[in-house]
């Protein structure tokens, strides 16, 4: 499983570095962390629907600034954990240099497939909910 994770990461890093060498670390970190956060949100939502109760939330109750509280809650619960994990597994002590030598670059095929699949997950779940409600 970790081999696939590293292969996707190397695909992302090399693809972004080949396209634009400016701030490639930040760009690859944001793309991969955002994509992983979307997939994790869908997973948690499905799990909470199966269990029937909400268990992964902060409940920031400020009704004046509710949109800001929701954004902050989403960042804390879904995005920042992946930024931290990805940083330590990929970028800490320039580990990506070793990984680039170890794993083959696949011209962006893996990262594009991963990105498109993760972005399609919410749409697929939405369609399944509509179909389930129609039946």
pLDDT at 110: 96
| Residue 38, pLDDT score | 94
Residue 57 has what DSSP assignment? -
What is the distance between the alpha carbons of residues 126 and 99, in angstroms, rounded to a whole number? 37
Token pair for residue 101?
Answer: 């030598």
- Three-state DSSP class for 113? helix
Half-sphere exposure of 100 (CA within 13 A, CB side): 11
Domain boundaries, the chain: 2-134
* Sites in the chain below the pLDDT cut of 70: 62-64
**Which secondary structure element, helix H or strand E, spans residue 6, and what is its range?**
helix 2-19
Q: pTM to 2 decimals?
A: 0.86
pLDDT of res. 62: 67
């Amino acid at each position: 499983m970790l081999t696939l994770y590293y292969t996707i990461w190397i695909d992302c890093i090399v693809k972004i570095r080949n396209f634009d060498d400016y701030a490639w670390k930040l760009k690859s970190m944001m793309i991969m962390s955002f994509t992983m956060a979307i997939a994790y949100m869908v997973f948690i939502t499905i799990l909470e629907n199966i269990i029937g109760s909400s268990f992964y939330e902060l409940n920031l109750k400020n009704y004046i600034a509710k949109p800001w509280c929701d954004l902050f809650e989403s960042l804390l619960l879904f995005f920042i954990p992946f930024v931290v994990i990805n940083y330590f597994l990929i970028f800490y002590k320039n580990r990506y240099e070793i990984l680039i030598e170890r794993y083959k670059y696949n011209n962006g095929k893996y990262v594009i497939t991963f990105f498109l699949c993760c972005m399609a997950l919410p749409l697929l779940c939405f369609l399944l909910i509509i179909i389930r409600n129609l039946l």
